[in-house]
Amino acid sequence: MRILPNYGGASMPSWLVQVSLESTDVTALQASLSTEIDSNLEEGKLSFNITEKNPADLRAMWNTRMRGIEASESAINLLKGHNS
């Protein structure tokens, strides 16, 4: 994860978090986030960016995405347990 100010030609900077995740179920994680963010899947890693105009909003979106990922991981693990 990297957090950077993102000037991108705008008059006011925005804030950017670049996230890269590894998981045995990275495809399922990507599917679970597909309605919320654009993401990339490459070499077994899920990556996505979160961009907001101020750090407080960035933190809120980070928390939301991480809670979604944790919930998805829990659901995947629960389903695996019932299917074995």
CA–CA dist 52, 74 (Å, integer): 28
The architecture in CATH of the region 2-83 reads: 2-Layer Sandwich (3.30)
> Structural domain boundaries of the chain?
2-83
Q: What is the mean pLDDT of the chain?
A: 85
pLDDT for 23: 86
> Which one, of 19, 14, 26, lies nearest residue 63 by Cα?
19
Quick check: 2 and 9 in contact, CB under 8 A?
no
Written as six digits, the tokens of 24 are: 């045995």
Percent of the chain clearing pLDDT 90 (strictly above): 48
Q: Taking residues 56-73, report their average pLDDT.
A: 93
CA–CA dist 19, 27 (Å, integer): 15
> Structure pTM?
0.75
21-53 tens-digit pLDDT: 998 889 989 998 888 889 999 988 999 999 999
